[in-house]
Amino acid sequence: MKLKKSLLLLAVMGMFFTSCHREENFSEKIAGTYRGWSDASCAYFSSYAASHGTTTETLSLTAEAVENQVSLSYASAAWGTFTIAGATVVKTEGIYKIAGSGTCAMAHQGTTKEYSCTLVANVTDASNAVFTFSIPDVMGGLTITFTAGDAGAYQLVGSYIGWMNASCAYFENYAETHGTTADTLTLSAGNTSNLSMNFASAAWGTYVFNNLSVSGKTFSGSGICSMSMGGQANDYDCTVSGSFNGDGKLVVTFAIPSVMGGLTTTFTEGEIPDEYQQTTKFAWK
């Protein structure tokens, strides 16, 4: 009798553990929508995001009928549409690992062509996931990496064309009284938290900033402004803060306390207002 009870208990336990095992369908654990950003490298360039910026994109995983398999759909604004079915999912040390192959449809000069691609991915959760696509037949071997989360400094990368205004202890609104010319301000990034600026203003010197602090789409930090006066170039300590105004235009403010009793120059992205180009009268305070 005891033997029968023991066998029955073992059978029940076996059914219990089998049931638990079947409930651990990895594909269902990671199915969903991932929001993040993309970077690219190939035989001709590395880290496209570092030199061109990036935008928020969406990648979707769907659990398939077959256990521990997913299908992937990802439409990149820059790199085309990726479609992968039957990708396998395993779990190792708390990380879901995906591997599979499919196609990438890319448009070039008005023509869309499909290329074979492979996928490897590591997923912890919706905010901690990296998907790497390899397309061997494009640009000598193109690798696209989609990373879940905020792009940080990468989303600010680019060249911005705008105009300058200045105020100090002796005058205000220099652009309003002297007119101005178009300047180009360049932001670059080494990673998601490292933003740098190189900016040469026709009227207000050269600004160099490294390791600017980034929060969302704002940044701040300190660096050097080099200005020439009387044929002599001097370096001055300078702070900077930048953000985007209500029109989505970049506005950057520089403060140079040791020049002209405290000089503030402001770069505003966009066209120079007509009145600033036409006015030439100088107005002292």
Taking only the tens place, the pLDDT of each residue in 28-63 is: 999 999 999 999 999 999 999 988 889 899 999 999
Report the C-alpha gap between 28 and 227 in whole angstroms. Answer: 60
Where in the sequence of the chain do the CATH 2.40.128 domains occur? 26-149, 154-278
Q: Which of 202, 158, 204 is nearest to 181 (CA)?
A: 202
Whether 65 shows a pLDDT value over 70: the answer reads yes
pLDDT at 110: 85
Q: Which of 239, 283, 242, 284 is nearest to 258 (CA)?
A: 239
Whether 19 shows a pLDDT value over 60: the answer reads no
Report the C-alpha gap between 153 and 213 in whole angstroms. Answer: 9
The verdict on domain 26-149 having CATH code 2.40.128 is yes
> Which top CATH class is 154-278?
mainly beta
**If you write DSSP's letter for every residue of 119-148 in order, what string do you get?**
EEEEEEETTEEEEEEEETTSTTSEEEEEEE
Residue 283's pLDDT band, with cuts at 50, 70 and 90, is: very low
Contact 173, 274 (CB under 8 A): no
Residue 113's pLDDT band, with cuts at 50, 70 and 90, is: very high
Q: Write down the pTM of the prediction.
A: 0.78
Average pLDDT (107-113) is 89
Taking only the tens place, the pLDDT of each residue in 183-211 is: 999 999 988 998 999 999 988 999 999 99
pLDDT at 282: 44
